[in-house]
Structure 1
Amino acid sequence: MPGPTGTATQSPESRKRPSATYVPALVLLASLFFMWGFITVINNTLLPHLKSVFDLNYTQTTLIESVWFIAYFVASIPSAKLIERVGYQKSLVIGLLTMAAGALGMVLAASIPSYGVTLVMLFIIASGITLLQVAANPYVAVIGPPETASSRLNLVQAMNSMGTWLAPMFGAYLILGRSKSGTAAAGTVLTQAERLADAHTVILPYIIVAAVLVVLALIIARFPLPAMGSATSRVAKEERKKHSLWKHRNLVFGVPAIFIYLIAEIGVANLFVSFVSRPDIGNMTSESAGWYLTLLWGGMMVGRFLGSAIMQKIPAETVLAAFSVGAFVVMLITTFTTGHVAMWALILVGFFHSIMFPTIFTLGIRGLGPLTEEGSGLLIMAIAGGALVVVQGWLADTYGLQTSFLLTAACELYVLFYAVWGSKVTEPLSMPEEDEAQAPAGMPE
């Protein structure tokens, strides 16, 4: 592994971009972003499938996704401790193998079939993803100058969006397309035998996913990942005592911003197929609606590539404010119109959601200096906000599916507040002198 390079001999130009040493590592990390995006979004086609197999209402259906995101809350701190104990590279391998074990468990759940076992296995998969998230997001954010951190993380997150774009095609073809519930007209009542047959369609997709995860784990185990230097690792206890996380407005309001944004993103994605397939909206089968879901995630991928380029010239918080306004407007259109107007408005929210997570994340850790590692952990824990999608499920059952999207619109307003005021840095900290001296080329000063 290459050792740290002192910053004293670097030219100003070399400090403006990541060291070439890290490019292969970033490419490999991009594959991880792709995989966890892919696996997460399989849930969007899996949920309407399970709704039919187990005859669930919206509250029970969204509870499946809530269990997924509760894993972020439960597993974030243990993940950080594991990374500290065994190191970055071994933690990535453990995370991938944990996901593979959960994917094989889904084969068991489909064979029984069992709603309870399904919940447990999805929790295990999400715990593995949490470990990857805790390690990978800060890694990408700190390599290179801090002023382009949002641009850099948006670029790598675009690979995550590519996974989310392809996953609905995979799910629509191998799950919904091979099941009676996915190809039948809306309102069709299935027999017990048909439900059992539908449950088995999940087996092949998750065997494929497990195999890919094991191969990727083997590649990472043998890959010469560069050392990160001390800038992203543990801070001396005495240095840590001098500072408080609660003095940093951008982090204090950033944690709920991530939490609230995830309610919006996951609520839209999980209820998309059910909404678009309704007779008064898209009037199509769940399989067809699953293909339209690729447009939602495709918009997110395009938005991240575009956002990454825009943020090279326009401040990240300004771009975030503009996108949050756009998201609010299209969600109002979704709520108060019908037919294809409502359908395309919901699809378009994917574009406006695109930059929100990576931009809030990088704004949240900006100026934290020696507190960056702890701040990153809190922001990753906030992904647990996706668990509150069950609230939208309850609203859909109580007041109607379309009306439930008002919750999404309210979430966009908080993101706007964060972009305009909450993201302002207070009492910025710099990297400790000993970290500056040891930081590898391209690390922020």
Structure 2
Amino acid sequence: MERAKTILPILFSFFVVSFVDLVGTGVDELKQSANTPDYLLQLIPFVAFIWFFLISVPAGIWQARYGKKKVLNMAILVTAFGLFVPVLGNSLPVILGSFALLGIGNTIMQVAANPLLMSVVPAERASGYLSLSQFIKSVGSMIGPYVAAVVGPFVASAIGFDGAGSWRFGLYLFGIVALLAWLWLRMTPIEEQKKEDSQVTFTSCLALLGNRYIALMVLGIFAIVGVDVAINSNIGTFLQLKIGVDGETAKYGKTVYFFAKMIGTLLGGILLMRGEPKTFLKYSALFAMVVVMVLTFADNSIVAWLLVGLISLGVANIFPLIYSITVGHYPQRSDEISGLMMMAISGGAVFPLVVRLAMGIHLNGGLWIIFGLLAFVLFLTRVKPS
């Protein structure tokens, strides 16, 4: 019971982590309400995820110095502030500012939350708990588009707001949730083990990239987050162009994706409490590759929706698997590894734009890039730690 009191507020912080996945909703909503070119709208995921490249390693140093809980709580507050920024308007610059703050908060949250969770759960169940944390994140990712598209406008209407951008009221609701998460974690005592024998520095973090195994696993995070965000931000456009789904219906492609991801992480959390993580990683990547290739031939909307859900099932547990497997081999370097791996989440800033440009060259071009990224993840299952 005591352990549950410690674990639950940390797990709930992953619900706050999910709020950054509203980038896809931001892209879709501004596409509807502003005459902004598609390629400029891809600046939204860029400003949200580029911070993983810029401040992940410093965040790893901060948490080693000040404590993971304190750094995590600060990040939740930054996220809450970002969610209230859209009161300034529904323009692209305001939304970019909002998602930049969401990205900063999200970066620091993930750097701190993952190792903090691993430090309070049994080592043999770390992969399972990390998948469970991703399940909680997936719940938030799945309901996010609904809250923005339906609940937000309902709240706006209830208080008499009739201006543009009523979807922003969904962000304000999530901002309140973030403040509650901050309060819960702040009131929860968590004992952290201090590492007296070593000091985490920028140099010590980057030096780990000299370890071939760690470097490749960091690239694995770069690849799989790129896959995840590229699908999130481009699936609506893909369904419109390839299958002819209307714009309003296509927006919910990401809901199908995140619903399947929620189911996948829940199943993964259960299976990985006793299963072998590396085997699970191998078959997850292989399954996703097969489904992506099948999707390139799809010409029916029902089949396409189903395949999108199956891709999500395949990739759902890859991030926590790569993370837990790597930290499991080098537990004494968890702060540095966490910083490096969160830096690699910047793949979410790079690949959505690359995939969208590839779709402009050939309709299946984006899927071919996603297939290649998954092939690299499959290759990682054959790499051995040095």
| TM-score, shorter chain, exceeding 0.5 | yes
* Residues 144, 214 of structure 1: alpha-carbon distance in 2 compared, 3 angstrom cutoff: closer
* 1:125 lines up with 2:102 in the alignment: yes
Cross-structure match for 2:192: 228
* Residues 84, 166 of structure 1: alpha-carbon distance in 2 compared, 3 angstrom cutoff: same
* Residues 399, 276 of structure 1: alpha-carbon distance in 2 compared, 3 angstrom cutoff: closer
Contact kept in structure 2, 1:327 and 1:349, CA below 8 Å: yes
Out of 336, 360, 363, which is 2:322 matched to?
A: 360
Out of 265, 269, 291, which is 1:308 matched to?
A: 269
Out of 262, 278, 281, which is 1:320 matched to?
A: 281
Distance in 1 (CA, whole Å) between partners of 2:151 and 2:235 is 18
Larger helix proportion of the pair: 2
* 1:211 lines up with 2:198 in the alignment: no
Contact kept in structure 2, 1:58 and 1:394, CA below 8 Å: no
Pairing of 1:6-405 with structure 2 (within 5 A): 21-37=2-18, 39-110=19-90, 113=91, 115-174=92-151, 199-221=164-186, 223-230=187-194, 233=195, 235-237=197-199, 245-246=208-209, 248-278=211-241, 281=243, 283-286=245-248, 288-340=249-301, 341-388=303-350, 389-400=352-363, 402-405=364-367
The offset of 1:48, in angstroms, is 1.3
The offset of 1:85, in angstroms, is 4.6
* Residues 209, 369 of structure 1: alpha-carbon distance in 2 compared, 3 angstrom cutoff: closer
Distance in 1 (CA, whole Å) between partners of 2:56 and 2:84 is 23
Contact kept in structure 2, 1:334 and 1:343, CA below 8 Å: no
User: Letter of the aligned partner of 1:226 in structure 2?
Assistant: I
Quick check: 256-265 or 302-311, which moved more?
302-311
User: Letter of the aligned partner of 2:192 in structure 1?
Assistant: M
User: Letter of the aligned partner of 1:396 in structure 2?
Assistant: M
* Residues 50, 363 of structure 1: alpha-carbon distance in 2 compared, 3 angstrom cutoff: same
Distance in 2 (CA, whole Å) between partners of 1:134 and 1:210 is 20
* Residues 403, 178 of structure 1: alpha-carbon distance in 2 compared, 3 angstrom cutoff: farther
Distance in 2 (CA, whole Å) between partners of 1:204 and 1:144 is 36
Quick check: 251-260 or 85-94, which moved more?
85-94
Distance in 2 (CA, whole Å) between partners of 1:277 and 1:198 is 28
Contact kept in structure 1, 2:16 and 2:181, CA below 8 Å: no
* Residues 220, 143 of structure 1: alpha-carbon distance in 2 compared, 3 angstrom cutoff: closer
- Point out the structure with max Rg over C-alpha: 1
Query: How many aligned residue pairs are there?
Result: 376
* Residues 247, 122 of structure 1: alpha-carbon distance in 2 compared, 3 angstrom cutoff: closer
- Give identity over the alignment, percent: 23
User: Letter of the aligned partner of 1:360 in structure 2?
Assistant: I
Distance in 1 (CA, whole Å) between partners of 2:247 and 2:353 is 24
Distance in 1 (CA, whole Å) between partners of 2:125 and 2:334 is 16
Give the TM-score of the pair, scaled to structure 2. 0.88
User: Letter of the aligned partner of 1:131 in structure 2?
Assistant: I
Structure 2 spans left out of the alignment, 5+ residues: 157-161
